[in-house]
Chain A
Amino acid sequence: MSVTISSKRLRREFVRKVKELSGQNLQLCYQCGMCSGNCPAASNMDVSPRQIIELARLGLEEEIAKSKTVWICASCLACTVNCPRGFDLSRMMEAIRLLTLRKNLDHVRPEDISPQERCELPQIAMVSGFRKFTC
Chain B
Amino acid sequence: MSVKEKKRNPVETATNEQKQVAAGLISVYIMGKRYEVPEGFTIMKAMEYAGYKFIRGCGCRGGTCGACGTVYRKPGDYKIQVALACQKTVEPDMYIAQIPFFPANRASYEFSKLTSAPEEIFKLYPELFRCVACNACSKACPQGIEVMDAISALKRGDISEAARLSFECIQCGLCTSRCFGELAQYHMFQLARRIYGARVLPRAEHLTDMVKAVSEGRYEAILEKLKNTKEDELKKLYQEREMEPVSAGEDWKPKDGKSLWEAR
Contacts and interface: CB of A to CB of B under 8 A. Distances in A.
B7 interface: no
B122 A119 contact: yes
Contacts of B157: 123
A127 interface: yes
A123 B123 contact: no
B156 A123 contact: yes
Given A123-B155, A123-B156, A118 B130 contact: no
A134 B156 CA distance: 21
Interface string A105-135: 0000011010100110101001101100010
Contact of B122 (A118, A129, A130, A134): A118
Contact of A130 (B119, B130, B156): B130
Contacts of A121: 122
Given A123-B155, A123-B156, A130 B129 contact: yes
Contacts of A113: 126
A20 to B, nearest CB: 21
Contacts of B168: none
B127 interface: yes
Contacts, number: 29
Contact of B129 (A111, A115, A127): A127
User: Among A111, A127, A129, which residue has the most Cβ atoms of chain B within 10 A?
Assistant: A127
Interface residues of A, number: 13
Contacts of A130: 127, 129-130
Nearest to A112: B126
Nearest to A116: B123
A123 B122 contact: yes
Nearest to B131: A127
Nearest to B128: A126
Interface in B16-39: none
Interface in B67-122: 119, 122
A110 B155 contact: no
B155 A118 contact: no
Nearest to A115: B123
Nearest to B105: A111
Nearest to A125: B129
A131 B117 CA distance: 24
Interface string B150-163: 00000111000000
B156 to A, nearest CB: 7
Interface string B201-238: 00000000000000000000000000000000000000
Contacts of B123: 115, 118-119
A18 to B, nearest CB: 23
Contacts of A134: 130
Contacts of A126: 122, 126, 129
A113 B127 CA distance: 11
B129 to A, nearest CB: 4
Contacts of A129: 129
Nearest to B127: A110
Nearest to A126: B129
A109 to B, nearest CB: 10
A69 B75 CA distance: 49
Nearest to B126: A110
29 contacts: A110-B126, A110-B127, A110-B130, A111-B126, A113-B126, A115-B123, A118-B119, A118-B122, A118-B123, A118-B126, A119-B119, A119-B122, A119-B123, A121-B122, A123-B122, A123-B129, A123-B155, A123-B156, A123-B157, A126-B122, A126-B126, A126-B129, A127-B129, A127-B155, A129-B129, A130-B127, A130-B129, A130-B130, A134-B130
Interface of B: 119, 122-123, 126-127, 129-130, 155-157
Closest 3 CB pairs of A and B: A126-B129, A110-B126, A119-B119
